[in-house]
């Protein structure tokens, strides 16, 4: 029976790489998107070309009712998912000097609320037979950030939301076991973002013990490992080329000619 994974934010960037990576490993993929319908359809077409099934599913992750439809829609199109990759997140700049309720609550809803609801729904959808049969258990992979291990004050609301999701990863792993495993995956600087220049990105990418931070293929390999790592729950795998071992006073985007 084919395995099904739901990847949030799968139309672009790391989410796209994750969706295609799972498909290449033999998974059928629900491609969640927010505003990128055309790109989501392209990912679906690529997955179908790989010989797997796929469907594009829309939801605004700040809207609980829309998030609650994702699992039933995935199940109707492809079958019950056994893995959810909570990859999508909102990334906006603020600091301690301008932080406020509006952005903090918006990012918390999207970056923490949606993963919590999806984890709860996967638990409810996973059969009780999983209590005895490991092959029927589910897994939630929460994409975090190496920044949690190498703190700086930039992007404050985003950082707080990821810290909350990291704590939720541990709490959910305790609460949902043994039916569902819950793990974290913390990338480093992986792709050029925002106003960062290509030169700035390349400099930042080399500022690690390994001489390069994470690449999309590294994140895919780690996610595939975690999806099948039956003995792993409640922990986070940091995949960043050692970026978290290099303390920086500011976010790397502000130190490399962004």
Residue 161 Cα to chain centre, angstroms: 13
User: 238 by DSSP, 3-state: which?
Assistant: strand
C-alpha 34/C-alpha 171 separation (Å) is 27
Is the pLDDT assigned to residue 128 strictly greater than 60?
yes
pLDDT digits (tens, 9 = 90+) for 169-182: 999 999 999 999 99
| pLDDT confidence band for 189 (50 / 70 / 90) | confident
Domain ranges of the chain: 4-188+214-243
Q: Give the model confidence (pLDDT) of 48-63 as tens digits.
A: 999 999 999 999 999 9
pLDDT digits (tens, 9 = 90+) for 110-127: 999 999 999 999 999 999
Q: Which residues of 165-189 are buried (b: 16+ CB within 10 A; e: fewer)?
A: bbebbeebbeebeebbbbbbbbbbb
CATH architecture of 4-188+214-243: 3-Layer(aba) Sandwich (3.40)
- pLDDT for the residue numbered 258: 46
Identify the pLDDT of residue 192.
Answer: 63
Environment class of 27 (CB within 10 Å of its CB; exposed 0-12, middle 13-18, buried 19+)? buried
Most confident region among 101-110, 183-192, 198-207, 236-245 by mean pLDDT: 101-110
State how far the Cα of 142 lies from the Cα of 126, in Å rounded to an integer. 18
* pLDDT at residue 127, rounded to an integer: 93
| pLDDT above 70 (res 135) | yes
Question: At residue 257, does pLDDT exceed 60?
Answer: no
Categorize the per-residue pLDDT at 200 as very low, low, confident or very high, splitting at 50, 70 and 90. Answer: low
């Amino acid at each position: 029976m084919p395995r099904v994974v739901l990847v949030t934010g799968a139309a672009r960037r790391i989410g796209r790489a994750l969706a295609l990576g799972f498909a290449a490993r033999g998974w059928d993929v629900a491609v969640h998107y927010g505003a990128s319908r055309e790109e989501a359809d392209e990912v679906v077409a690529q997955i179908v070309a790989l010989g797997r099934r796929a469907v594009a599913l829309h939801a605004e992750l700040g809207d609980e009712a829309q998030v609650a439809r994702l699992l039933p829609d995935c199940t109707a199109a492809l079958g019950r998912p056994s893995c959810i990759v909570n990859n999508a997140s909102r990334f906006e700049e603020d600091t301690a000097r301008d932080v406020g309720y509006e952005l903090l609550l918006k990012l918390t809803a999207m970056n923490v609320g949606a993963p919590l609801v999806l984890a709860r729904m996967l638990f409810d959808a996973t059969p009780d037979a999983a209590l005895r049969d490991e092959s029927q258990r589910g897994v939630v992979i929460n994409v975090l950030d190496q920044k949690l291990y190498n703190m700086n004050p930039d992007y404050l609301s985003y950082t707080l939301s990821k810290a909350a999701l990291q704590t939720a990863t541990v709490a959910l792993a305790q609460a949902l076991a043994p039916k569902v495993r819950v793990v974290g995956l913390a990338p480093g600087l992986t792709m050029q973002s925002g106003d960062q220049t290509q030169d700035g990105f390349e400099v930042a990418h080399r500022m690690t013990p390994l001489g390069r931070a994470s690449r999309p293929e590294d994140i895919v390999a780690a996610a595939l490992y975690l999806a099948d790592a039956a003995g792993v729950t409640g922990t986070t795998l940091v995949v960043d080329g050692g970026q978290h071992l290099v303390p920086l006073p500011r976010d790397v985007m502000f130190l490399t000619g962004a």
